[in-house]
């Protein structure tokens, strides 16, 4: 049933045009619901359930990739990150490639950006877990990879450097969030839709990390072990 609905939504034409580009049809705005539901899939939580563990009761209590790796092991954390990335990346890429190839009008950009926001909100406030979810870093990376790949590369490099230097995932995530608007302004000048999205995504990521910020200020934030030796769950 989901595949049939998705196929019909992809097939909905975008017939209206404005000066300089195309306007999505009314039906295509229903994609926002699909993006939200795709983003709401709690991959880390489901992985924990598969092993008989509710990861919300362990570690930081978060269902994201970092806590999944902390509780279940590093490989599970990588798998959770990949799932959270792909659940926003793949739907946006399908829409971009099959419905709006070579289309850069601001209504199309707005549709894609709002679809990305819907996926992030679905992850952060999943209805399947009482509207409590993760912090949206991997899902935001998927959105950026689909519509703003250069911004994602800058953010990823910032995250990697931040984590390697501080051995603290939250610091890397906060630095990556702060880099988003700067990278968008540099690579996509005069595109206010994209800049507004990066401001929102970065601000939301910082807000979702407010407990981490409190622990950082108190000096109690957990650090990761970068050696090959596996951490105990």
Banded pLDDT at 22 (limits 50, 70, 90): low
Q: Does the predicted TM-score (pTM) go above 0.85?
A: no
pLDDT at 20: 46
Residue 70, pLDDT > 50, answer: yes
Residue 44, pLDDT > 70, answer: yes
**Better pLDDT: 30 or 46:** 46
DSSP 8-state symbol, 39: H
Mean pLDDT, range 183-196, rounded to an integer: 93
Residue 76, pLDDT > 80, answer: yes
- Environment class of residue 228 by beta-carbon count within 10 Å: exposed (0-12), middle (13-18) or buried (19+)? exposed
Lowest mean pLDDT among 101-105, 114-118, 229-233: 229-233
Cα distance between residue 147 and residue 120, in whole Å: 14
Residue 21, pLDDT > 80, answer: no
Residue 137, pLDDT > 50, answer: yes
Q: Are 54 and 48 in contact (CB under 8 A)?
A: yes
Cα distance between residue 177 and residue 230, in whole Å: 28
Residue 35, pLDDT > 70, answer: yes
**Better pLDDT: 34 or 15:** 34
Structure tokens at 91: 């739907």
| Cα–Cα distances in angstroms (integers) from residue 19 to residues 22, 23, 91, 192, in the given order | 8, 10, 27, 17
Q: Are 108 and 159 in contact (CB under 8 A)?
A: no
Lowest mean pLDDT among 76-85, 99-108, 154-163: 99-108
Banded pLDDT at 7 (limits 50, 70, 90): low
Cα distance between residue 134 and residue 114, in whole Å: 19
Banded pLDDT at 227 (limits 50, 70, 90): low
pLDDT more than 90, % of the chain: 65
Residue 129, pLDDT > 90, answer: yes
For the segment 147-170, what is each residue's pLDDT rounded down to a tens digit? 999 999 999 999 999 999 999 989
């Amino acid at each position: 049933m989901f595949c049939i609905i998705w196929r019909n939504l992809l097939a909905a034409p975008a017939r209206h045009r404005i000066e300089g580009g195309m306007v999505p049809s009314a039906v295509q705005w229903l994609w926002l619901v699909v993006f939200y539901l795709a983003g709401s899939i709690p991959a880390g939580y489901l992985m924990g359930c598969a092993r008989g563990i509710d990861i919300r009761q362990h570690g930081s209590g978060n269902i994201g990739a970092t806590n999944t790796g902390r509780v279940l092991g590093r490989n599970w954390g990588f798998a959770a990150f990949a799932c959270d990335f792909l659940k926003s990346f793949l739907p946006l890429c399908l829409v971009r490639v099959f419905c709006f190839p070579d289309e850069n009008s601001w209504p199309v950009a707005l549709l894609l950006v709002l679809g990305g926001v819907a996926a992030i909100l679905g992850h952060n406030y999943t209805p399947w877990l009482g509207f409590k979810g993760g912090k949206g870093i991997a899902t935001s990376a998927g959105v950026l990879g689909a519509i703003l790949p250069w911004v994602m590369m800058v953010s990823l490099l910032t995250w990697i450097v931040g984590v390697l230097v501080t051995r603290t995932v939250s610091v890397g995530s906060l630095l990556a969030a702060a880099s988003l608007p700067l990278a968008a302004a540099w690579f996509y000048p005069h595109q206010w839709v994209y800049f507004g999205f990066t401001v929102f995504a970065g601000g939301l990521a910082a807000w979702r990390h407010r407990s981490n910020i409190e622990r950082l200020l108190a000096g109690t934030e957990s650090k990761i072990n970068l050696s090959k030796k596996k951490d105990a769950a």
